[in-house]
Chain A
Amino acid sequence: DQQVKQNSPSLSVQEGRISILNCDYTNSMFDYFLWYKKYPAEGPTFLISISSIKDKNEDGRFTVFLNKSAKHLSLHIVPSQPGDSAVYFCAATRGGQGGKLIFGQGTELSVKP
């Protein structure tokens, strides 16, 4: 039972354009969502997060949007740069769960010059 799903295994975007990565979840009890970025042969690194009390959070070129009614979140990268090429994981958790992050399968983003 995949509670967090990233249905696009890969995405290819031209440098300078917008990248949109999508994530769906099934558990309505999740109240905190995160995006992690992973380069080959390295561990994931935290990118951006959003609480369920918000519908948008922005950090530089990265914006995460949350649509609770649709149980959907998306990560927008504008403008996309070749260094953004990596695997992006979305994750979700409930407050008080003691550390149980549930990850999606990941989307591999390729930004072409």
Chain B
Amino acid sequence: NAGVTQTPKFRVLKTGQSMTLLCAQDMNHEYMYWYRQDPGMGLRLIHYSVGEGTTAKGEVPDGYNVSRLKKQNFLLGLESAAPSQTSVYFCASSYLGPLDTQYFGPGTRLTVL
């Protein structure tokens, strides 16, 4: 089992560019999450999904879109990147939801110039 994988590991964007971060899990988990980690802020939930075809907003959803077309994949999109979106992005998944252990990917470090 690879667990939770994230693609890419690093990316540098210019303001206004778009990109998609891919998260994949091979544990047959229903729930998937996207977080961002900023210095002094901990991890903040961007969007999450409680199953294939569903998505919901977290704490800081503005400027991001997500899709969960397949159970094993959760995509995070930035349509027009801004310097405020410079962060480390983590994807996580869990089987049963918030009371179940969330397994995290290794992270994607994104810099927006």
Interface size on B, residues (CB 8 A): 28
Do the beta carbons of A43 and B104 come within 8 Å of each other?
yes
CB neighbours of B50 from chain A (8 A):
98-99
Do the beta carbons of A106 and B104 come within 8 Å of each other?
no
Do the beta carbons of A105 and B98 come within 8 Å of each other?
no
CB distance from A75 to the nearest CB of B (A): 15
Interface-facing stretch out of A54-62, A76-84, A89-97: A89-97
Q: Is the interface of A mostly helix, strand, loop or mixed?
A: loop
Interface status of B72 (Cβ within 8 A of chain A): no
Q: List 26 A-B contacts (CB under 8 A).
A: A6-B42, A9-B40, A41-B107, A42-B106, A42-B107, A43-B4, A43-B105, A43-B106, A44-B90, A46-B101, A89-B43, A93-B99, A98-B56, A99-B45, A99-B48, A99-B50, A99-B56, A99-B94, A99-B98, A100-B45, A100-B58, A100-B98, A101-B102, A103-B35, A103-B43, A104-B42
